Amino acid sequence: MLTDNSNMLDIALWNAFRKGDYHAFNKIYERYSKDLLSYGLKITNDIQLTEDSLHDLFIDLWTSRKNLSDTNSIKFYLFKALRNKISNAKTRDHFYQMKDLSTETANADEFVIETYLIDTETQNHLEYQLKKNFQQLSPRQQQALNLRFYHHFKNEEIAEIMGVNYQSACKFIYSGIKALKEAVRILSIFLLANF
């Protein structure tokens, strides 16, 4: 979460950058590039597209810096802009399908390989169960939960980043949590009893 200090640094960096301070521009990149790459990968699974979009986003930022307005949250602004870049790139290229817009379920990736049988410990079991259930959520639910619990955005911000209205964003989060809850509740009670 942004502490007051970090937020003030953000504002100072943003203002310096808008006045043409290249060093500040670089600092902004360093502060957020990893989060942005991580988020981009979540919605596309395509590292090349994510990197290209991040590159284009920062080129746009620098060339239009004088026309940018104040912002209270650089992170929020950048997330929203990156999602736009990616979604525009995908609109241009019909080979792409937006992961969170398509109906296909998320890739069954490394989580499946993790064998549940080997994990005898309850903590691992819990993690496994949660991952498994998480993968079964819709891409949009997954993305909303990712933005809320990993990137710590507020629900209003999540709505805007995802390009949906406030109620829909809340619904993604709420229904996602609900689906994860049941599996976890039983396990966690068991886990707690062990301590």
- Positions touching another protein (CB under 8 A) are 1, 26, 29-30, 33-34, 37-38, 41-42, 47, 51, 54-55, 57-68, 77, 80-81, 84, 91, 126-127, 130-131, 134, 145-146, 148-150, 152, 154-155, 160, 163-165, 167-168, 170, 173-174, 177-178, 180-181, 184-185, 188-189, 191-192
**Shortest Cβ distance from residue 177 to another protein (Å)?**
4
DSSP string over 49-78: HHHHHHHHHHHHHHHTGGG----S-HHHHH
User: Rounded to the nearest whole angstrom, what is the least distance from the CB of residue 195 to another protein in the complex?
Assistant: 10
Q: Distance from CA of residue 132 to its chain's centroid?
A: 19
CA angle centred on 138, ends 44 and 127, rounded to 5°? 90
Question: From the CB of 33, what's the least distance to another protein, in Å?
Answer: 4
Give the nearer residue to another protein in terms of CB position, either 24 or 164. 164
In the chain, the N- to C-terminal Cα span, in Å, equals 30
Residue 12 or 186 having the CB closest to another protein: 186
- Report yes or no: 153 and 76 within 8 Å, Cβ to Cβ: yes
